[in-house]
Structure 1
Amino acid sequence: MIHVSEFKDLELLSIHKVGNASQEESLICSQEPLQLQDETISQLLLSYFIQPFTNAAEYFRFYHEAELQLNEIFQYCRRIFENRDNFHEQSVNIAKHLYKHSTHPKIKGGELYIAYFSKCQVDGEDVEAIGIFKSETRDTYLKVYLSNESYQVNYDDGININKLDKGCLVFNTEEEEGYKVSIIDSISKQNEAVYWKDAFLQVQRREDNYHQTELAVNMCKQFISEKLPSEYEMSRIDQVDLLNKSAAYFKEKEQFQMDDFAQEVLGHPDAIESFKEYREQYQQDYRQEIPDEFDISAPAFKKQQKVFKSILKLDKNFHIYIHGNRELIERGFDEATNMYYYKLLFENES
């Protein structure tokens, strides 16, 4: 986990303007790093850059389809870590690389900030870090000031320090695997924004317990929701019951064990065998490996737990949320109305 309070000093900062190349907007690179002399400005910038990462529990790493050394951002960061005297030169290279990939017509131009932190803490380890941040959105601010013993109002154009558009923190650890990298992209759901993660940075998720938990949650959900109903006659209520048991397993256990999960959640030998076969096919289809055992990441499960939807939707009239005992709900058919029904058993109503 990233702790903002552990980012003590913003030692170096270079700012460049990166426009949209396809719109014939310019790339303007500063000649030297910004001289940070005002402590208040330094702290505001530090908050602007780092605060959005406080809830980032997922890490990435640089990669390249051929070999890691061909990833340009990886190389520029490595040169800075090797010698801080390279900082500004490499910040210009990073700006040029971003400009080269800023070709989608909807990509906004903006200021690019390259920062160097001599000491920060990530997952309990003190390391150096490089920050790459881009601001694309500008806001209008009202300025109220006193003039000739009367208050006046004016406006100015600026950056909202509570809204970082895009960010990347590169930690000087695990270099041989492509460093430990954390990213922020406030508009990542839009198609034009994939250039930040996939084209510019070229990062992929690290195969850690966060990633493994995420994969296992999705695999279990798909198996229960898609595979089991295609092989066995299952009511929707039985599916929901298995989804609830799966969610409880990930929430309550500290470690995921494949055989333990299969026995505790599925139980039936045929279902367990089908689950093992499905796991093998899932790994082939997604080209991802899910270990037999791994520590469950609580942040990963919290993010993914919505996939275990325990809701029965009955026509357009009712939604039934099922949280507990499967034995307290029964399904039947009413011949008089020629319709299905559920009988719910409970002790107290509120």
Structure 2
Amino acid sequence: MNINLKNAIITQLTLQSVGNKLREEKNIYAGDLFHLTEREEEDLQPFFMSAFKKSSEYYKFTHYTQDVNFNVLYSLCKDIFEEKSDFVSFSDRVLDHLFERSNHPQIKAGEIFIALLEEIDIGLESKIKGIGIFKLENKNKFLRFKHTDIVECAIQKGYRLESTIDKGCLILNTLKEDGYCVLVHDDTLIESEYWKKSFLDVEYIKDNAYQTKNYINLLSNFSQEIIFEEKGKKIQTEFIGNCLQIFNSNETISEDLLEKELLENYDMVDEFKSYKKDYAENSNIQFSEIFDVSTLALNREKKKIKAEIKLDTHIQIKLDINKPESSEDFLEQGYDEERKMFYYKIYYNNEL
């Protein structure tokens, strides 16, 4: 799914404050809609949306009973999309739900913007609606808040939007059988369980982006833990480079394709099957036997992979992960009997 948020319009907005239940901090409810001037919306819209522009991971609401209707936030959003509730009352109930889940000493208090969005483009003939919940926990030069009976907000002129929201989600009215599509942002991994699981109660939609990301992570971990141990760093970097090349050059990935074009070349078919089985069980990941490559997810994961050889002589050799054949053709490894040391020999034409 390609989601374009550039032209999304904020049609209704509330501003509230949530406290930490464990510390017995108070909430401040909206009372009424928070009205924006045209200029203020031009400033706030990209501030809210920037955290989701490069999202490649989509979630859906879930519940331990297997009935998503028991998910509090799903039910509240459903009432809004079906126009069964007014937006201020909806925002108050979302705030109550968030407060009930804010019961850990590390969870920060903060301001909460809740927005009804329209004109979201997901590649269909007609645009769809969405609901955005945005939490700000840290001070921001761009926004100044004043807490009385309500939360007041002033947008400071002259400051660039260099930061983004601390936590947020976008619930899209996609009307799928398994519920709405949810985009999630969390600026820290420490509290991700509180935001994703306790408040939102979401799980990954196991689409092509999910499969692409997890297969890349699987192969990367396999190269670091198994290939490196058995064949060394040079072969390990070649392996992951060839892996990415296969993903780049094929629209569809299958287990058979990976075996024939990658694993058989390293005589690692059986080792990979065993590793994948344990990895899937330990990580609770469901791998598909065949899937289409998500370019967005692939590009995102490629940036995380570093192809370099670090030596104990304080020398580093950086390899181009997109050109694994270069290390095969122009980098040799050997052992010097006189020095009793390993060495790398590099061939080149010109220094760049």
TM interval, shorter chain, is: 0.7 to 0.9
Compared CA separation, residues 278 and 192, structure 1 to 2 (3 A):
closer
User: Which structure 2 residues correspond to residues 1-350 of structure 1 after superposition, within 5 A?
Assistant: 1-7=2-8, 9-34=9-34, 36=35, 38-67=37-66, 68-83=68-83, 85-124=85-124, 126-139=127-140, 162=161, 163-186=164-187, 188-189=188-189, 191-228=190-227, 233-268=230-265, 270-306=267-303, 308-323=305-320, 324-350=326-352
Task: Give unpaired runs (5+ residues) of structure 1.
Answer: 143-155
Give the Cα–Cα distance (whole angstroms) in 1 for the partners of residues 290 and 90 of structure 2: 41
Aligned Cα root-mean-square deviation (Å)? 2.7
Give the Cα–Cα distance (whole angstroms) in 1 for the partners of residues 165 and 250 of structure 2: 35
Deviates more, 1:211-220 or 1:108-117: 108-117
SS in 2 for 1:10: strand
Q: 2:40·2:155 contact (CA, 8 Å) conserved in 1?
A: no
Compared CA separation, residues 54 and 84, structure 1 to 2 (3 A):
farther
- C-alpha deviation, 1:58, in angstroms: 1.9
Give the Cα–Cα distance (whole angstroms) in 2 for the partners of residues 299 and 183 of structure 1: 16
1:105-153 superposed Cα distances (whole Å, 9 cap, x missing partner): 33322221221124321244621111111222234579xxxxxxxxxxx
1:212-242 superposed Cα distances (whole Å, 9 cap, x missing partner): 0011111112223223456xx4232222221
Q: 2:134·2:168 contact (CA, 8 Å) conserved in 1?
A: yes
Compared CA separation, residues 245 and 96, structure 1 to 2 (3 A):
same
SS in 2 for 1:211: helix
Aligned residue pairs: how many?
A: 332
Which residue does 1:150 correspond to in 2?
none
Q: 1:138·1:157 contact (CA, 8 Å) conserved in 2?
A: no
Q: In percent, how many aligned pairs have the same letter?
A: 30
Give the Cα–Cα distance (whole angstroms) in 1 for the partners of residues 278 and 18 of structure 2: 44
Paired amino acid for 2:51: P
Give the Cα–Cα distance (whole angstroms) in 1 for the partners of residues 46 and 304 of structure 2: 33
Deviates more, 1:43-52 or 1:242-251: 43-52
Give the Cα–Cα distance (whole angstroms) in 1 for the partners of residues 313 and 123 of structure 2: 47
Give TM-score, length-normalised by structure 1: 0.85
Q: 1:64·1:202 contact (CA, 8 Å) conserved in 2?
A: yes
Task: Give unpaired runs (5+ residues) of structure 2.
Answer: 144-152, 321-325
- C-alpha deviation, 1:264, in angstroms: 1.3
Q: 1:311·1:322 contact (CA, 8 Å) conserved in 2?
A: yes
Paired amino acid for 1:22: L
Q: 1:107·1:193 contact (CA, 8 Å) conserved in 2?
A: no
Q: 1:168·1:182 contact (CA, 8 Å) conserved in 2?
A: yes
Q: 1:117·1:129 contact (CA, 8 Å) conserved in 2?
A: yes
Q: 2:18·2:95 contact (CA, 8 Å) conserved in 1?
A: yes
SS in 2 for 1:122: coil
Q: 1:114·1:132 contact (CA, 8 Å) conserved in 2?
A: yes
Compared CA separation, residues 14 and 248, structure 1 to 2 (3 A):
same
Give the Cα–Cα distance (whole angstroms) in 1 for the partners of residues 10 and 304 of structure 2: 40
Q: 1:139·1:158 contact (CA, 8 Å) conserved in 2?
A: no
Deviates more, 1:306-315 or 1:95-104: 306-315
SS in 2 for 1:29: coil
1:268-301 superposed Cα distances (whole Å, 9 cap, x missing partner): 4842233334333333333322222211112212
Give the Cα–Cα distance (whole angstroms) in 2 for the partners of residues 245 and 213 of structure 1: 15
Give the Cα–Cα distance (whole angstroms) in 2 for the partners of residues 48 and 316 of structure 1: 46
Give the Cα–Cα distance (whole angstroms) in 2 for the partners of residues 288 and 136 of structure 1: 32
Give the Cα–Cα distance (whole angstroms) in 2 for the partners of residues 225 and 139 of structure 1: 40
Give the Cα–Cα distance (whole angstroms) in 2 for the partners of residues 304 and 86 of structure 1: 41
